[in-house]
């Protein structure tokens, strides 16, 4: 039983994961947005609202975000990130 991570390492990793999951926030760069609205298509909470005049989206109700990461993955411009805010 010498290979692989120890119980303690897995536990610590889990602690870190739990901490991160609680603190993740959406960071959106409106300058990079080209208005494909994939984020609007996939957000199950309704945090992304298309701006039909400006051909971009707006991020609303950040406090409801469940950090599922769908918008981050589907944004072709990489304009959306899930980050732990800087201390």
Partner 1 sequence: MATVFMKWLETRPEVYDRGIRLLTLGRLAKLHEELVSRFVSPGMTILEIGCGTGTLTRSAAEAGAHIMAIDRAPVMLAIAEDRLSETDLGDRVSLKLMDASLIGDRYDPESFDLVISSLAFSEMTAHSRSFMLAEIIGLLKPGGKIAIIDETIPEGLLKRVAYGLLRFPLRVLTWLLTRTTTHPLKAFPDELVRSGYSSECAASSLGGALQLWVAEPLPEEDGSVDAGLEIEQLTYRRTMRTYLLDIWSLFFRIIPPYPKFTPGLYKIGQPDDNSPILVTGNYELTVRRLVKAIDGALDAWLLVADSNGINVWCSAGGGFFTAERIIEAVRTSGVDRFVKHRALILPQLCANGVDGWRIREETGWGVHWGPVYARDIPAYLEANRKKKDAARWVSFPLKDRLEMLSVTLAFYGLLIMIPVAIFWRDGFWAVMMALVGLGLFYAITLPWLPGRDGLQKSIPLTIIALLGTLIYTALVDPVPPADVFNRILGITALSVFTAAELQGMSPLMRGEQANWIPEALVGSVLLASYFLVPILVGWT
Residues within the interface to partner 1 (CB under 8 A): 1, 3-5, 7, 10-11, 14-15, 17-19, 21-22, 38, 40-46, 63-64, 66-70, 73-74, 76
| Helix locations, 2-57, DSSP H | 7-23, 38-42
List of residues 6+ apart from 3 with CB closer than 8 A:
none
Rank residues 17 and 32 by Cβ distance to partner 1 and give the closer one: 17
DSSP-based three-state secondary structure for 11: helix
Rank residues 18 and 32 by Cβ distance to partner 1 and give the closer one: 18
Q: Nearest approach, Cβ of 55 to partner 1 (angstroms)?
A: 18
């945090």: which residue's tokens? 47
Rank residues 54 and 62 by Cβ distance to partner 1 and give the closer one: 62
Q: Nearest approach, Cβ of 81 to partner 1 (angstroms)?
A: 15
Q: Nearest approach, Cβ of 3 to partner 1 (angstroms)?
A: 6
- Describe the chain by its helix, strand, coil percentages, rounded to 5: 35, 20, 45
């Amino acid at each position: 039983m010498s290979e692989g991570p120890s119980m303690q390492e897995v536990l610590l990793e889990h602690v870190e994961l739990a901490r991160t999951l609680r603190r993740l926030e959406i960071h959106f760069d409106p300058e990079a947005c080209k208005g494909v609205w994939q984020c609007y298509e996939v957000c199950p909470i309704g945090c992304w609202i298309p701006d039909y005049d400006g051909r971009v989206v707006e991020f609303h109700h950040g406090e409801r975000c469940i950090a599922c990461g769908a918008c981050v993955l589907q944004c072709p411009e990489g304009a959306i990130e899930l980050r732990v805010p800087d201390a």
